[in-house]
A and B are shown apart, each in its own frame.
Chain A
Amino acid sequence: MHDAVLACSRWLENTPWGVTVRDSAWMSPVIQWMHFVGLSMWLGTTFSVDLRLMGVGKRRQTAAELSNGLFAWNWIGFGVAVLGGFLSFSAEATTYVQNTGFCLKLAVLTPVALIWHVVVQKNIGVWTRTEQSSAIGKRAGLIEFLLWISVVAASVAFLLTNAVTHP
């Protein structure tokens, strides 16, 4: 398992894009910028919906209306964030996969949070037939909110301990 992951990482690092990003002086910060811009859209939209589902804050729209209205920008943000993340991962894959925070983020927390996000998006109409979200909807919103914060926490743990930024 460990060998397979390292082999994949080595392959990624030697892809044309992996080599280009690693050898460039200016691309890494620009890619990080892309990742953060995408995340602002992804988390700005996702948190707004989760908090509305939890019944916190203003109630000018139901959570389902808000979720539908923000759907396009939600997934545009996700696409931009993933592309940026994938490119920076490709440049330093073998180093990144040896960091516990990174593995936790990529292999566990992000997939779980993402699956949960899709479940919430699919069911939000059922959970918000009235102005008030149902009890299960409220809990689902809170869980998604906490899941994404845990993804950010794992990313920060990674940033503070990885060998590329802290040799």
Chain B
Amino acid sequence: MWWVFLLACSGTTVVPIPDTTARIDVVAEVNQRQSELALKIMTTPEECEYIVGGLDDPLSRKEYEDCLPWIDRQAGEVKLGVRFELDDQFFQLPDLNDHVSVSLNDRQVVDGAAESDVRVIGHDPVRIKQVFLLLIDGSGSMNIRDAGSSKTRMDKVRDALLMRSVQEAFFPDGVTNHVIVYTFTSGTPQPLGGQLTILSNKQTYKSHIQEHLKARSGYTHLYDAVDYGLNTVLAKSDVQTLLDGQTKPTIVLLTDGFNNEASNDTCTSNVPRLQRLLTGIRKEMDDLSVDTPLIFTVGLGRPLSKRFNPKRVKQGRLTDRTLCGGQSYNALIDAPGKTGGLEDVFIDNISLELIADRGKGRAFVERDAKGLGEAFKEVAAIRYQWFEIMFRDNALKFRREFNVGLQLNNYARAVSNVNVYPHAWMDGPHGKKDAEGWSTRGTIWHSASILTSGLGVLIFLLVFGAAVFNGKRLVLGRLHKKRSVESKNA
């Protein structure tokens, strides 16, 4: 009878969150006024099953569990699966780490703080159309044969670019990509072959690289090359026709040294130049849309600072101490002689890391053709069908119902929020921590282990009195007849 009452009073606007004792709104509230894209929070198993396309194999099952909402109140963590839609169609976006802000009861969850954190993981990656702009260092140093190698640095680059896997990455099946190659030394970067050539298939790409890719001579105007590629090459009308709003321009910068514009340049002289470039890139990136370029950098050689982390460099706070990476501020980049300058020993991975970080890409430092090939393969842009957004905050904030707000900060505007209603008396099993310290989905088997061990203890206590009573009587000899003296003598 009670169940009839309960069922009659249950609402259909909330659903239980699997493996927890909490409930969640079936439909998250999408802020239509502030959204260009609809940010849909997936709250029901049916939605997650649909987006992973069935639960037939273990991988799909894992994706399904990643998609379902999860709340670990002990760890103060919440996980939600979200997707983006435009006109009721799926809209794929690239890696959204650092592009999503989360609010809890209208207060922003600070990313990377001691008590709070946010993590975004993309799922179901898809390849999109890309225009690759390769900016290859053509300075005199690319003619150097490193110790133990019979090939010049430019030979290694050529070998890497001609690797079958790299060609597959630039021209994958089913997607129409284009490649434009420029080399740079001093002055304006030059298109490979002397005039702008847009390479659209493997054959022309292969022959063009084989025929024209050669080192020249001169200084290394690295920063100018990036600026030129970003603002001049991509703005050319031939290139603009390729960028149809669904194509991602991707700049790949390759160098074997430092930005070097004069004979007396030191790493200190590069500080204002790099600062200027980074500011310019930031301006470009602030207006992120589908056709906003990505910048990847590839270094060939030994890194100046192996443990450099670009995230630690605050905006506008670039110093010579940072850029010189522990070397003397006055050390010349290109000193007379063969081993006197910084670029004779190192490559400026610090500049490369910072440029890639601002350009939302990645930096690679490799020493051989194989490593370079791997780096080139990585630059193929990937977009994701849906995302797993996790955040943690003070666990005490989850001791009543709460509202989670999600906002996409870049690419397009998208705002949504959902209410979560935890149980006031009990919680489900907590998850284990993954390698990065985030809680994973708990299972009922943990509670079964508590049940069995608890039952074991209680059953033991139930018979403990009888065991002690009989044990004591056994020790006192009251359970068995003592042998008499006569029988002992006998």
A associates with B: no
Chain A residues with a Cβ under 8 A of chain B:
none
Chain B residues with a Cβ under 8 A of chain A:
none
